[in-house]
Structure 1
């Protein structure tokens, strides 16, 4: 026996780690080995019975070059595989591997990870000196054959630990595993969609005869204008609210991989375009993998995911697959195989992402790209922000919004850290119809992703179009303030349309239109506008017209009866638009280096807001806007601060206000992260799920707080 053991050591290397069954000729050796292997492979050589060589296992020392997360950083709970996130218990027919850094994984999970080229611990990022691999028994020398068979599912395979070559000279040759993946010329290998029974979300849960559709409300600036008076730029607020999705995700933190949202919402095709350039090495890449793990675990079996990784070039490392149990496991293994190196080619990453959508054979009704980068595109964009660069070249034509190609694929861009190009990321999101988030603190990335997919997994309205028509024959629309939403005026400015697009469950939109009210002594009442809506139901795919149009009327008394009360709803939205305009003006000044003017613009707006009706009434949105303006002033204190965080903070705010949709802002630790005002219940639930997930939040982890910590949108009676 001792002779065999010494031969084996010579074959594998003295420091190799191999589990030896109690006896080779024992009829129960297979089950015995399984039990011992499930307890974890020792990170040192185990001396077999009868070995008198004097060799004893030594305590391994993790590589000094291995990068570590902080002690308070994310780590798997005891008994949970950090790759597939399922439990590890002896006797379940799964071998368990314990690495030299003491972290344990399912053997089939970690061998797949290693097969893709990853030689770093997925948890602590330590560089391993020994890695597990799996090989057919026929390829192993006779003395090694079947030495580590651990369960019936591994029949005919042996599992051994392979000593890695010295890292000396490896740095120049290390290449991300994405470059070794065979990539087809056409991405038409997407997984076919299952035809599932869909439950419509638009029936009231207690009364099945009540249909829950988009809600439209209108609010005139004042309720009455004297007959003998004219009122220029008379404002009318149009308020929209999407129906609820019918279900809420389970946020108890004990998920076993089931979808948090059932078949009461549209299924999603999601492509993540991830920066794995050299600057992402270490903690950044580890946190990105962890965040992607959360995304993967919370997609439903009818949702599909594809992963694009880019550095100097881009590769599709995971095709468009349904997130069934098998799909999730494969996606997790692909993500965990990523290694950082090279430059930053955002344009190529987006091109590959767009190609996934263009080439697919099957289509889910909701499509989106999540883009994350911590750097500047060094291949397509060569000039500094706002120096005349055409950022259109970064975005493939096929995903430009309003391109007439019938494929609406918004890019939700996430700028990571202080070195990313906020201007290009914001431009990408605007061109495609997505949002731009600024992740200042690295450990907020998972919560930021959670907020985004919380919305994407709750789309209940698509292709929403709002029509505003003048009723009185002497009226014309003088303006339509709809942020980044496409608007058009026709019929001599008597008719306007607003293309709203998709709405998440219970998401709200507010648009302000103005008209010039003329003198009219013919009646005691005047009809100003009528508002209609048409949208596609995301489940049934049918077009739905709102049954009741909303008509706006005002009284026309002979004389003014007392002081007219301005609508608090209209005043609140005026303040929001005024603040957004001030942010945009201040940003222009800051980009030309005139920070004093930028700060002055914000301060003037802040003072103006404090004198409005809604501010004096203690309106929460107005208080929030004031605090946001103050935060921006602080981030424009000098050029260095503006370059590091001010530009990204302002742009993420502009993105949020222009689309009226929540984005991540700064480090999200205080009340200045005010765009959470746009959070929907589904977003709040998903962020809460992220913060209470099974891994547990690190003690000092910055978090995106639930909406209750931020000013909520006022409930309209």
Structure 2
């Protein structure tokens, strides 16, 4: 069966033209590194930060597929809370967005094609959600495959944002292994473990198999609307797609030893490394650490040590940023290198990465029934944070909160199996993606949350209390943000062109300086 019956996007009457996208300046690049390096052979860390722009006024439309578990275990409060969470999703979408609903139990059913969000379709979609009834087994694989096929078969796909939200409350007991389903292209799959009886290993693997997907833990059945809201807040604020960062060594000046960028795909090619990130949300940050080896030189001089460029797509248009160059002053006044010489912000990021590695090691120990060793590893991670110079950095405090919660969930093997393992897996994938994922207390653990996520969290809490309360659409949210910051749509492009002009002047100055040096 082909799912090429997706609805076209028809502009509503009197809607007026959509803003013309400004392609440049939708991502800001900043480098953090030492400004001086010794003359002797040494290693240096360069941290690159890519940050999504402020404005989503000209965002691309979203094609969202909700893949919902309606097996027998969803009976009662669970199905009611899922319906409320989906009503929140339907009400937040705008006319440029489309939604398809897929359910699974013994097998999967596509309940509707990708439908443009209009007043009429909202009523139809809400009716579909209200009519969901639980029963049968749990065939996650068929649900996932069907959801992916809905996106793959689209007639209208150019320039559109895509996403799959898959939730399940049970063990897969029909169909094949969902963890082995190939997920091609830049399709993020966001999985939600609902309640306490699902298999976190499967849902975690599904998210990891996709580009940018995360695994969220929703132990409290009353928190599903909040968890869905955080995912939706990201998908409705995608500022660029197919984001790629390329770092290239400078011949005779540096060698790239390692590029650390979570579990995003990397490609190496003749002295350069390209990292593919997929989509980037507004105000979302991707930090990349490049470890460089600098050769020994004989005398003081400036040195270009890394060339950086990035590209992305927005509304189907490709943008290639001009190269930026990272420089240092090689001088005999600087002693040999050591990790303590790295800038504090770089040390903090290194500490975060080390903490996540230790969480993964602790989970492996607990899976091997070595719970005491696992707890010791988590305590070791806590102690390691005491050495971070930036103790006031919010990241450090959130890491402490995370480790404290993990220690509670690693107190017995039974608690670990039920809650500790999924929490640790969600933590690992969240850190690897540098993207928010709900785990434990959604309100206290806000690592990687964006401003829109914070806003939607409050909206979801109020909606859960009274689903009849009017809910602003995504368009209303954008209008509110522009009213608070009217320059947001052009701030990024202006900053980009100013930075490009500065780099051009610096390049001219370098040419003039080098040209006037005596032979």
Aligned to 1:14: none
**Paired residues of 1:345 and 1:377 also in contact (CA < 8 A):** yes
Q: Whose Rg is larger?
A: 1
Q: Of 416, 421, 431, which residue of structure 1 is paired with 2:194?
A: 416
The alpha-carbon distance between structure 1 residues 347 and 235, as it changes in their structure 2 partners (threshold 3 A), is same
CA offset at residue 415 of structure 1?
A: 0.4
Q: Of 174, 192, 196, which residue of structure 2 is paired with 1:379?
A: 174
CA offset at residue 523 of structure 1?
A: 3.6
Name the structure with the higher helix share.
Answer: 2
Q: Does 1:192 align with 2:3?
A: no
CA offset at residue 375 of structure 1?
A: 0.5
Q: Of 301, 304, 307, which residue of structure 2 is paired with 1:527?
A: 304
CA offset at residue 569 of structure 1?
A: 1.4
**Paired residues of 1:462 and 1:536 also in contact (CA < 8 A):** yes
**Paired residues of 1:219 and 1:552 also in contact (CA < 8 A):** no
**Paired residues of 2:84 and 2:464 also in contact (CA < 8 A):** no
**Paired residues of 1:691 and 1:697 also in contact (CA < 8 A):** no
The alpha-carbon distance between structure 1 residues 695 and 318, as it changes in their structure 2 partners (threshold 3 A), is farther
How far apart in 2 are the matches of 1:562 and 1:305? 57
**Paired residues of 2:64 and 2:164 also in contact (CA < 8 A):** yes
How far apart in 2 are the matches of 1:449 and 1:202? 30
How far apart in 2 are the matches of 1:474 and 1:565? 20
Aligned to 1:500: 277
Q: Of 351, 375, 379, which residue of structure 2 is paired with 1:599?
A: 375
The alpha-carbon distance between structure 1 residues 476 and 391, as it changes in their structure 2 partners (threshold 3 A), is farther
Q: Does 1:581 align with 2:357?
A: yes
Q: Of 223, 229, 237, which residue of structure 2 is paired with 1:444?
A: 223
Aligned to 2:129: 335
How far apart in 2 are the matches of 1:429 and 1:516? 35
CA offset at residue 447 of structure 1?
A: 0.8
Aligned to 1:714: none
Deviations 1:458-513 (Å, cap 9, x if unpaired)?
1110111111011141421111111111112221xx21111111111121110111
CA offset at residue 648 of structure 1?
A: 0.8
CA offset at residue 369 of structure 1?
A: 0.7
Aligned to 2:209: 431
Aligned to 1:546: 321
How far apart in 2 are the matches of 1:461 and 1:692? 30
How far apart in 2 are the matches of 1:360 and 1:218? 39
Secondary structure of 1:656's aligned partner: helix
CA offset at residue 598 of structure 1?
A: 1.4
Aligned CA RMSD, in angstroms, stands at 2.2
The answer to which structure, 1 or 2, has the higher relative contact order (CA under 8 A, 6+ apart) is 2
**Paired residues of 2:56 and 2:238 also in contact (CA < 8 A):** no
**Paired residues of 1:459 and 1:502 also in contact (CA < 8 A):** yes
1:29-178 → structure 2 map (5 Å cutoff): none
Aligned to 2:41: 230
Secondary structure of 2:357's aligned partner: helix
How far apart in 2 are the matches of 1:571 and 1:202? 35
How far apart in 2 are the matches of 1:455 and 1:301? 17
Secondary structure of 1:552's aligned partner: strand
Aligned to 1:566: 342
1:278-289 → structure 2 map (5 Å cutoff): 278-289=72-83
CA offset at residue 588 of structure 1?
A: 1.4
How far apart in 1 are the matches of 2:441 and 2:396? 22
In the TM superposition, structure 1's runs of 4+ consecutive aligned residues that sit over 6 Å from their partners are: 561-564
**Paired residues of 2:253 and 2:304 also in contact (CA < 8 A):** no
Please, which runs of 5 or more residues in structure 2 have no aligned partner?
Answer: 469-519
Secondary structure of 1:473's aligned partner: coil
CA offset at residue 344 of structure 1?
A: 0.6
1:274-673 → structure 2 map (5 Å cutoff): 274-363=68-157, 365-380=160-175, 392-393=179-180, 395=181, 397=182, 400-401=183-184, 407-433=185-211, 434-491=213-270, 494-537=271-314, 539=315, 541-547=316-322, 549-560=323-334, 566-615=342-391, 618-668=392-442, 671=444, 673=445
Please, which runs of 5 or more residues in structure 1 have no aligned partner?
Answer: 1-184, 204-210, 248-263, 382-389, 402-406, 699-717
Aligned to 2:452: 682
How far apart in 1 are the matches of 2:88 and 2:398? 30
Deviations 1:646-704 (Å, cap 9, x if unpaired)?
011011111110000011111335x3x2xx22111222222222223495499xxxxxx
How far apart in 2 are the matches of 1:417 and 1:294? 19
**Paired residues of 1:447 and 1:687 also in contact (CA < 8 A):** yes
**Paired residues of 2:242 and 2:279 also in contact (CA < 8 A):** yes
